[in-house]
Amino acid sequence: MNTLDRYILRETLRPFAVTMVLALLVLLIERMLRVLDLVLGSQGPLRLLFEMLAYLVPHYIGLALPFGLFLGVLLGFYRLSRDSELDSVQAAGIGIHRLLRPVMLSALVVAALSAVTFSYLQPYGRYAYRAMLHSISNAFINAILNEGVFAQIGDNTFLSEESHAEGQRFVRVFVYRNEGDGDWSALTSRQGKLERGGIARPPALWLYDGVQLGGSDQDAALGVVGDPSRGVLHFEALRSELDSGSDSAFRARGEDEREMTLLELWQLRDTPPEDVRSSDLIAEFHGRIVRVLTIFVLPFLAVPLAHGYRRRARSFGIGFGIVILIVYKEVVDFGENLVESGDLTAFTGIWGPFLLFSLGTLLAFVRSMMRLPREALVSLPGWVLRLMDRSRKGVA
C-alpha cells in the first residue's frame, strides 16, 4: 500500500469512525430510555440496563456499518474534490477507479464484519435480549424485593425482614411451600440471595444457614408439630427456584427465523421448526446475503455524489444519498415480506432490487468518470474507454 492509498484511507476512515460512533450513540440512547424505564419499574439493578444494551449492539452495528461506510467515502471524496486534490491526482494520470482500490479494501473488511454480525452476533444477541426482557418482565421476580411484605409466588410464600443491595440480598427469610398432595414445608434462614434468571432458566433464591421443617395437612389437623419420618433439616446453603407456575423459563432459541444463524437458516429451509414457514427461512437467508453484498456497491454510489456536486452544497449529495439508501432498504424489506408470504420468489423479490440498484449505481459511477479531464482517462481500462466513446457517439 503506497502513500496515496494510505492518504485515501485516512480521509475516508475518519468520517467513517465518527459516523459509526454517532449512529450507535443515537440508536442506543433511543432504546436505552425504554429499557431504563423497564429496569427501574422492575426495581432491578442498573447493571441489567448495560447488559441489555450490550445485547442490542450487534443489531445496531448491522445498521451502522453500511451507513458509516457510505458517509465515510462520500465525505472523504467530497473533501478531496472540494480542495481540488482530486483534480490534481487525475491530472497526474490516476483515475478514480485507481483511487477506489483502498476504499474497496475497506469495503471488504466492513463486509466481513457485517457477515459475522448478520450470521452469528445478531441472532444470538437478539435471543439473549429477548430472554433478558422476559426475565425482567415477569412480575414474580420482583415480588420478594420489598422487605416486610408477604409475597405469593406460585405455591410459595416468601417474607424477608430486611433487603439490601437493590433487592439482591436479604436478612431473616421465611419461605412456606405447598408441595401438593397435602404436603408442605417451611424454611427459615439467616440470609438469602436472589439469583436472577437468564436464558432457559428461572430465577432462584439462595438461602444460607437455615432450617427446613416438613409436614402435611393431616399432621396439622391432628395437632402434630412435626413429622418424625421427615424430621428437621439444617442446611448451610439451599437453592430454591422461583417458579410462578407459568412458563418462567424462556423458550429455546430458534422459534423465530431472526434468531437463527445463517447456516441454520440454510439447513432448516426444507424442514422448518414448528410455527415457522419455509418461506420465512428462505427470505431471511437471502435478505442477509443481499445486505452483505450491498456494502460492495456503496462506494460506487458515494463517489459520484461527492464528485458530481462539489460546486453545490455538500448536504445535497448527503441528503440525496440517504434518500436513495432508505428507499432501497424499504424496497428490499418489502420484497422480503412478499417472499415470506409466497407471492414472489427470492430472486424476484430480493435479488431483483439488489441487481437494479447495483446496475444503476455502476452506471452513475461510469458516467461520473466520463466527466473527468482527458489526462485522467489514459489510465482507465480499455473496455471503459470504448464504452465511454460509444456513449458519446450515441449522445451526439
Per residue in 65-82, pLDDT tens? 999 999 999 988 888 877
Tell me, yes or no, whether 198 and 306 share the same domain: no
Q: Is the dihedral of CA 276, 345, 111, 298 positive or negative?
A: negative
pLDDT at 347 over 50: yes
Which CA distances in Å does 334 have to 11, 126, 262, 330, 348? 35, 22, 20, 6, 12
The DSSP letter of residue 189 is E
The arithmetic mean of pLDDT across residues 28-44, rounded, is 74
Residue 246 lies in a domain: no
Is residue 273 in some structural domain?
yes
Any domain includes 260: yes
Residue 338 to residue 333: CA distance in whole angstroms? 9
Q: 132 and 153: one domain?
A: no
Instruction: Kindly state whether residues 163 and 291 are assigned to the same domain.
Output: no
The 10s digit of each residue's pLDDT in 89-110 is 766 777 777 788 889 999 999 9
CB 187 within 8 A of CB 203: no
Judge whether 195 lies within some domain: yes
pLDDT exceeds cutoff 80 at 57: yes
128 and 270, same structural domain?
Answer: yes
Number of domains observed in the structure of the chain: 2
> Do 293 and 159 sit in the same domain of this protein?
no
For 308, phi and psi rounded to 5 degrees? -80, -20
Residues in Cβ contact with 120 at an 8 Å cutoff, skipping those fewer than 6 apart = 261, 262
Contact (CB, 8 A) for 354 and 289: no
Mark whether 75 and 213 lie in a shared domain. Answer: no
Q: Which of 220, 241, 262 is the last residue of a domain?
A: 241
pLDDT for the residue 222: 36
Q: Stretch 264-281: mean pLDDT, rounded? A: 88
* Cα separation, 284 vs 289, whole angstroms: 9
- Confidence (pTM): 0.68
User: What 3-state class would DSSP assign to 151?
Assistant: strand
Decide if 248 is inside a domain: no
Q: Which range among 1-15, 285-299, 359-373 shows the weakest confidence by mean pLDDT? A: 359-373
Other Cβ atoms closer than 10 A to 195: 16
Whole-number Å distance between alpha carbons of 328 and 336: 12
Are residues 389 and 266 part of one domain? yes
Q: What would the mean pLDDT of 247-251 be, rounded to a whole number?
A: 60
Query: 131-135, 156-160, 220-224, 334-338: which range is least confident on average?
Result: 220-224
Crossing angle of the two packed helices 96-116 and 278-294, in degrees rounded to 10: 150
Q: Which has the higher per-residue pLDDT, 169 or 124?
A: 124
Q: Examine residue 366 and state whether it is found in any structural domain, yes or no.
A: yes
Task: Give the three-class secondary structure for 92.
Answer: coil
Nearest to 296 by CA among 163, 60, 115: 115
Q: Residue 111 — φ and ψ, nearest 5°?
A: -65, -40
User: In 3D, which of 329, 321, 265, 327 has the Cα closest to residue 294?
Assistant: 329
Residue 375, Cβ neighbours under 10 Å: how many? Answer: 14
What is the H or E stretch that residue 241 is in? strand 232-241
Residues 1 and 102 sit within 8 Å (Cβ to Cβ): yes
Inter-residue contact 141 to 244 (CB < 8 Å): no
More reliable by pLDDT, 104 or 390: 104
Compute the average pLDDT of residues 368-390.
Answer: 54
Measured at the alpha carbon of residue 222, what is the angle toward residues 228 and 216, in degrees to the nearest 5?
55
Cell numbers found for residue 151: 409475597
Task: Establish if 343 belongs to a structural domain.
Answer: yes
Q: Examine residue 107 and state whether it is found in any structural domain, yes or no.
A: yes
Q: Are residues 121 and 161 in the same domain?
A: no
Whether 233 and 271 share a structural domain: no
Shared domain for 104 and 148, answered yes or no, is: no
What does the mean pLDDT of the chain come to? Answer: 78
Query: Residue 132, exposed/middle/buried by CB under 10 A (0-12, 13-18, 19+)?
Result: buried
End residue of a domain, out of 241, 276, 305? 241
252 φ, ψ (degrees, to nearest 5): -75, 155
331 and 276 in a common domain: yes
pLDDT computed for residue 357 by the predictor: 95
Structural domain of 337? 3-137+253-395
Same domain? For 274 and 391 the reply is: yes
Residue type, 122: Q
pLDDT class of 218 with cuts at 50, 70, 90: very low
| DSSP-based three-state secondary structure for 122 | helix
**Which of 194, 211, 241 is the last residue before a domain boundary?**
241
